[in-house]
Amino acid sequence: MSRTVLRGATLMSGRVADVAIDSTTQKIEIIGVVDPKPLDVIEDCTDMVVFPSAVEPHAHLDKVLLCESGQNIKNPSGDLEGAISAMRNVTLSPRDVYRRAKAAVLEMVGNGTTLIRTHVDVRSGVGISSIYPLIELKNWLRDEQIAELQIACLLGSPIAGVNGREHRRLLSRAIDVGIDVVGGCPYLDEDPRSALEVLMDASFDAGLPMDLHTDETLDQRTLTITDLIEAVDKRGVGSGIAASHCVSLSMQEYEIQTSVAIKLAELGISVIVLPQTNLFLQARNISSAAPRGIAPIKLLGEFGVKVAAGSDNARDPFCSMGRMDMFETASLLVMAAHLRPDQAWYSCSGGGREVLGYPDQGVEVGAQADLVLVDGANFASAIAKGSAKRTVIHKGRITSRTSVEREYF
């Protein structure tokens, strides 16, 4: 029996300890002082903080890195409508999707992410072509034990009625070929409530979770999350339901926010907050007292709503920036959403696992060893610094190690 021993790691509490990982069980065996055995692999973790590995609950791997692909896809207005328009007539080949998605995932893994949910466009003119390369990537990641990938269908509109017939057919095909999550944007549909019913029917019939793009707007009049609450209240939560974005909830009066939060918590509906892309897309035409465009994650958490945070788009028409690094997301949550560092990281790790239907894996004896070690004096400074010096462990095995060398002259 061999072990990997993380020698002298700094725990989130600030205590310095060794962490022994059993290579057979893939679990943390000891946290404390570890007496080395002959077959142990010793990893020097001096001045490195050990975190539970990150979770990316909301990516768009079919579009990722398009700003670097040479296809010259531009979003001159910089807002959501401009991004949607920029992508409307773009044709993405399966090989190109696979190449960009793999490069992005490896960047995520190197930054400490071991569980990812990606949305993929399924709509007329595109069909389900981008699902196949992502299934191929999912299988490769699983076989190599690098990371786990969930694929969510992002169904185009319209969905309901006669005009939505083609999209409903594509949703059925997407489920048949093996998506993991049903999704779409009912708030953008001609008939939001009927579109929601279609997506819920598909989710329940297939036994799949549902993750909806919800109210990605600062328009206070748009609050379709209440339609979701009403629908779930009538028929139950099924295999797990998440609402992503929920930007307009940040524009409501406190009484409305709290009533929504209470119902979300009661019904078990999760919220996925996406600070990076929503800060990029929202409030571009507001010059005075511009809102931040981030769902009220702090309030939601205080009322017991299951919350997770993700990066959303990265280096594509929906967001020209993005390091595919959950330490960047956590830092934004501290600065722009006023979470404590421990709350921010939980939203980017354990909270994400819970929302995606996985058990939380903390840094504790008996937990599966999914960890990331980052250069830093302590927990908060490691998030603030965001050093590239990292070691990533997935299922008890070191999958990535990044070293940094800096010279001054």
The CATH number assigned to the domain holding 91 equals 3.20.20.140
Strands 307-309 and 3-10 turn out to be unpaired
**Are residues 234 and 217 part of one domain?**
yes
pLDDT at 260: 98
pLDDT at 1: 67
In a domain, 392, yes or no: yes
| CA–CA separation, 146 and 154 (whole Å) | 25
In a domain, 408, yes or no: no
**Are residues 181 and 93 part of one domain?**
yes
The vertex-366 CA angle with 360 and 367, nearest 5°, equals 25
Alpha helices in 268-325 (DSSP H): 275-281, 297-302
Q: What's the pTM?
A: 0.96
Task: Look at the chain and report how many structural domains it folds into.
Answer: 2
**Are residues 219 and 144 part of one domain?**
yes
| CA–CA separation, 199 and 284 (whole Å) | 31
In a domain, 201, yes or no: yes
| CA–CA separation, 97 and 90 (whole Å) | 12
DSSP 8-state class, residue 239: T
CATH assignment of the domain containing 26 = 2.30.40.10
pLDDT at 73: 85
**Are residues 183 and 154 part of one domain?**
yes
What is the chain's pLDDT, residue by residue, as a tens digit (409 residues)?
689 999 999 999 999 999 999 999 999 999 999 999 999 999 999 999 999 999 999 999 999 999 988 777 889 899 999 999 999 878 899 999 999 999 999 999 999 999 999 999 999 999 999 999 999 999 999 999 999 999 999 999 999 999 999 999 999 999 999 999 999 999 999 999 999 999 999 999 999 999 999 999 999 999 999 999 999 999 987 789 999 999 999 999 999 999 999 999 999 999 999 999 999 999 999 999 999 999 999 999 999 999 999 999 999 999 999 999 999 999 999 999 999 999 999 999 999 999 999 998 899 999 999 999 999 999 999 999 999 999 999 999 999 999 999 999 9
| CA–CA separation, 204 and 120 (whole Å) | 20
| CA–CA separation, 106 and 66 (whole Å) | 16
In a domain, 409, yes or no: no
**Are residues 282 and 147 part of one domain?**
yes
3-state class of 282 per DSSP? coil
Amino acid found at 142: R
3-state class of 241 per DSSP? strand
**Are residues 388 and 349 part of one domain?**
no
Burial of 389 (0-12, 13-18, 19+ CB in 10 A): middle
Concatenated DSSP letters of 51-105:
EEPEEEEEE-TTTTTGGGTTS----TT-SHHHHHHHHTT----HHHHHHHHHHHH
pLDDT at 221: 96
User: Is the peptide bond prior to 291 cis by the omega test (within 30 degrees of 0)?
Assistant: no
**Are residues 266 and 173 part of one domain?**
yes
Which residues lie closer than 8 Å to 9 by C-beta, 6 or more apart?
16, 17, 18, 19, 45, 48, 49, 50, 373
**Are residues 20 and 125 part of one domain?**
no
Instruction: Write down the residue that tokens 């959403």 correspond to.
Output: 337
**Are residues 85 and 23 part of one domain?**
no
**Are residues 146 and 16 part of one domain?**
no
Amino acid found at 302: E
Burial of 386 (0-12, 13-18, 19+ CB in 10 A): middle
Count Cβ atoms below 10 Å from residue 207 Cβ, excluding itself: 9
DSSP 8-state class, residue 11: P
CA nearest to 23, candidates 44, 39, 47? 39
In a domain, 222, yes or no: yes
| CA–CA separation, 282 and 220 (whole Å) | 13
CA nearest to 86, candidates 316, 375, 300? 316
pLDDT at 72: 73
The domain in which residue 378 lies consists of 3-52+362-402
Distance of CA 32 to the CA centre of its chain: 32
**CA dihedral of 267, 56, 177, 235, whole degrees rounded to 10:** 0
pLDDT at 405: 92
In a domain, 17, yes or no: yes
| CA–CA separation, 275 and 270 (whole Å) | 16
Count Cβ atoms below 10 Å from residue 171 Cβ, excluding itself: 26
